[in-house]
Structure 1
Amino acid sequence: MQNKIKMCIIGAGPSGLCTAKEIQANNPNINIKVFEKSNDIGGIFANCYQDLTLVNNPFLVSFSDFPPAINDNHLKMWRANEYVDYLNSYAKKNNLLKLIHFNTIVKKISSIKGQWNIDFEHNGKVTTNTFDYLTICTGTNQKPKEIP
């Protein structure tokens, strides 16, 4: 029996969730792990100042396969917490929560013979896993480590 392909996604914000959903839906032979440094999904939207309001309409920041509800407030801009609630609903609908390793910090990434060694820390313990594919979804507001 052939081993499953292993993929690492760093970040469980909008990009990481969308990537995990699409890979899971279209490639059932890929074993996906998503590493998220915080205790919730949503990326910067889960850890921003209280009452932050997004500057785009919910229909522009939602996923095409999971549109927001149309109601009397459907044109109102979402607050960050509403957007995080939406992302949580998206993750639950697509069975993504089982893939996410919360409170896990990626410490080091190295490429060895066409694969990726990822050193990550969880509960004070550093572990190394090897992956066939790596997708970094930490957004533009994170300073990435230099990758060789």
Structure 2
Amino acid sequence: MVQQRSFKNYVNTHRFNKISDVVENFVPNNIGELNLWTKSNIIDIDNLDEERVFFDEMKIEFVFVNGDTLINDIEFDVVVSGEVYFTEAGRHDDDYDSCTNWFRLNCTATINGGLSNFTIHSVEPYDKKENRFERKLSDALVPFHRMIMNMKPSNF
């Protein structure tokens, strides 16, 4: 049986820690850009201190390749989700809460038996409704127009 190749799985296996570190650093330094909400309504989200906000439980949801290329350099977006945890110190206790947030990381790398020169250029909050991707390559890095051409019904 032929093994299915997955670019998303490769990125998840080989670049998870670097992606996670970048998002973990982004979250507390960009609180104002995040869509934070509380489940308990106890915490004043508008006055959170970056020392009391952190990101955890990251999952790579999607990897979108931004175009096919004739050379081995590739640009792609990694969309991740995870929990943003925040606390607020009260007089007697600390209040804790969390919410799920999604992030888009724009990346480049060189494909040469692996992903060398892996670079994350930007991180931003991701909104499924606002951000749309024109997928030019499948998860197996095959151009979609070639896949469609190969799927044409044969003449009988």
- Per the TM superposition, whether the score is higher than 0.5 is no
RCO (CA 8 Å, sep 6+): is it higher in 1 or 2?
1
Which is greater in Rg?
A: 2
TM (norm. structure 1) is 0.30
TM-score scaled by structure 2? Answer: 0.29
Task: Give the strand-richer structure, 1 or 2.
Answer: 2
